[in-house]
Structure 1
Amino acid sequence: MLFVSGLGAFAAGRGDAAPAVPPFVGKSYSSTAVTGPEIPGGGPLQLTFTAANRISLFAGCNRHVGEMTVEGSVLRVGSLASTMMACPGPRAGADEWITALTREPLTWYSAGHALVLSGPGTQVLLMEKYS
């Protein structure tokens, strides 16, 4: 739970205004910790922000892509298209986990190479991936 307590200190120190283009655009991230419902099959959640309004998500089963909007510290994910693979075993619920995470607007903040997404009952810590 170190990540949760450390996040509170960071959240209090955020700036008032978000940049016009969020710092995560053009980058890829992989989850390192989740509070709330765990990712079925263990994840990790992989996110790529391909453009200022596009997102790609993968949690172990199908890849989901779609539009997103960012207003200040709020990220809204629109309708997602996905591949249609059948995923047996523990990863079978990964797609539903993504749907539940993105159903409501998410609050985001970043520090260095870390990105935190928070939604109702779930908080995900992601670290930037390098090619």
Structure 2
Amino acid sequence: MVQRSFVRPRFRALPALLATATLLSACAQAPALPELSDTRWQGDGHPPTQLRLDASGQASGFGGCNRFSGRWRIEGGQLRLGPLATTRMMCLTPGGEQEGPFLASLEATRSARLEGGRLLLLDAQGQVLQTLQPAP
């Protein structure tokens, strides 16, 4: 016995069309990441935090008390920093207080954008984690 499909021919392509439209709209919503290879940035804390992203994928800088290093990469359209390793100096200065939140924000970064010459590091929801200036 032959089974007949009751789906009309004009609707057979509808699932594929909907899937394609969904993929295209997702691509259109994802902003392109700025070119970050071989860039240097600094925060406005005292002392200023620093972030360097080199072309080989190495991230390094200064958190306010300790130096740090790790990897950075663009993966699945997202910016990833870390894991980060730091030196272990004990700091009783304001720089020591800013270091933990600064390093945590770097590891939570999923995107970035340039705005007015500044680098904005964003979390997965698009919220600004850090605003950095070009380093001299």
| Fold shared per TM-score above 0.5 | yes
1:16: how far off? 4.5
Q: Which has the higher strand share?
A: 1
CA distance in 1, matches of 2:94, 2:116: 33
Which of 55, 62, 65 is the matching residue for 2:66?
Answer: 62
Q: Which residue of 1 aligns with 2:133?
A: 127
Question: Are 1:23 and 2:35 an aligned pair?
Answer: yes
The number of aligned residues is 106
Which blocks of at least 5 consecutive residues in structure 2 are unaligned? Answer: 1-28
Q: Which residue of 2 aligns with 1:9?
A: none
| Cα pair 1:101 1:122 within 8 Å, conserved | no
Q: Which residue of 2 aligns with 1:51?
A: 55
Spell out, residue by residue over 1:28-76, the C-alpha distance to the aligned partner (whole angstroms, 9 max, x if none).
Answer: 11124xxxxxx6xx44221111224111131310011001111476211
1:82: how far off? 1.5
TM-score normalised per structure 1: 0.63
**Partner-residue secondary structure (3-state), 1:98:** helix
TM-score normalised per structure 2: 0.61
1:104–1:85 distance in 2 versus 1, CA, 3 Å: same
Greater RCO, 1 or 2 (C-alpha within 8 Å, sep 6+) = 1
Share of identical aligned residues, percent? 27
Task: State the one-letter code of the partner of 1:25.
Answer: S
Give the alignment of 1:50-129 within 5 angstroms: 50-71=54-75, 74-111=78-115, 113-119=117-123, 122-129=128-135
Whichever of the two has the greater Rg, that structure is 2
1:45–1:16 distance in 2 versus 1, CA, 3 Å: same
